[in-house]
Amino acid sequence: MSVKPNPVFDPATPAPAITVAPALEVAAAPSPSAEPDSPAAYRPRRRLPAMTSRYLVRVAALLMALVVWHFAASSGFNFFINFENVPTPLLVGEALVSQLSSSEFYLHIVHSMERIAIAYAYAVVLGVLAGVMMGRSRWAEDIILPYIELFRPIPAVAWIPLAILMLPTEQSSIVFITFLGAFFPIVLNTVHGVEQTPDVLVRAARSLGASKRAILWHVVIPGAMPSIVAGLAIGMGVAWFSLLAGEIISGQYGIGYFTWTSYTLVKYPEIIIGMLTIGGLGTLCTLLVRKACAPLLHWQAKGGRP
């Protein structure tokens, strides 16, 4: 049995490196104000909600426009835009109070809203139906699209003489002109939304045994709904524009007729009242359309904006 000798220590040989485990870093002690048990850590930040702050910004922007309008009209500003004959906001406010106490002003609003409701209802039904047909069938697109592209560029004012000749009453002619204004944006946006439906979703539904009707109701139309809703909102704005043109030429009541009559009678504050009423009613109607269609878009994920 052989015994190995102990190795001789040589001072010239460098000693092996000794690895030492790193010491744990000690976290800096939090300041007394940031301790979890301190009241400051649980004190909520006092700030306005996001929507409230946004509405405050919008109201401030409108007030700034009123201030600019007041100074431009009161000083007679005349540089490329002439404010010499434009009434100040105070005069318009006084005239508005006078109109609000008159029943005839509300009669104009009721007639305009009635025409918008009838024309827009027809435009929604026929526009969405024609758009879905064009988006799903090449035959329907080849038949309907030439008429849409031919008639769409024609302004609403150009339709007025023909509408008066073709339709029996002034009410029906104004409704027809308003219908045309809302119809074209709705049908074109519906076609765009239907055509943009991903084919992979259609093929997946077909592979699972879904019928054509089920694919249409549960895949195509929900996928096209964002574009359809955008067309409905745009169509409402164009409908008010077309209504104004029809009421100016052939109407007896309505906000458009009220605005045009105020111009012919040189009632400048009433002109601005009519314009602001059209803008307010159009904005309100568009908001109602978006709110009514919001449940149809509950599945859509919304991205945040800074």
The pLDDT > 90 percentage for the chain reads: 46
pLDDT score, position 29: 47
Task: Give the tokens for residue 259.
Answer: 């605005």
- Least confident span in 145-149, 204-208, 226-230, 246-250: 246-250
Residue 92 clears pLDDT 70, i.e. is over it: yes
Over residues 125-146, the mean pLDDT reads 93
CB 277 within 8 A of CB 106: no
Between the CA atoms of 129, 135, 137 and 140, what dihedral angle is there, to the nearest 10 degrees? 60
Give the integer Cα–Cα distance in Å for 110 and 133: 35
The pLDDT confidence band at residue 305, using thresholds 50, 70 and 90, is low
pLDDT score, position 184: 95
The pLDDT confidence band at residue 45, using thresholds 50, 70 and 90, is low
CB 270 within 8 A of CB 99: yes
H/E element, 78: strand 78-79
Which of 137 and 119 is assigned the larger pLDDT? 119
Which DSSP letter does residue 31 get? Answer: P
CB 131 within 8 A of CB 188: yes
Highest mean pLDDT among 3-17, 64-78, 110-124: 110-124
| pTM score of the predicted model | 0.77
pLDDT score, position 28: 47
187-to-141, 276, 305 alpha-carbon distances in Å: 11, 29, 30
Which DSSP letter does residue 302 get? Answer: -
Alpha helix positions (H), the chain: 50-74, 89-100, 103-136, 138-151, 156-166, 170-195, 199-207, 212-215, 221-250, 255-264, 268-293
pLDDT score, position 301: 58
Q: How many residues does the chain have?
A: 306
pLDDT score, position 108: 93
Which DSSP letter does residue 209 get? Answer: T
Convert the pLDDT of each residue in 219-268 to its tens digit.
888 888 999 999 999 999 999 989 988 888 766 789 999 999 998 888 99
The pLDDT confidence band at residue 26, using thresholds 50, 70 and 90, is very low
| Residue 185 amino acid letter | P
CB 136 within 8 A of CB 220: yes
Convert the pLDDT of each residue in 272-297 to its tens digit.
999 999 999 999 999 999 999 888 88
Which residue shows structure tokens 């827009």? 120
Which residue shows structure tokens 């008010």? 240
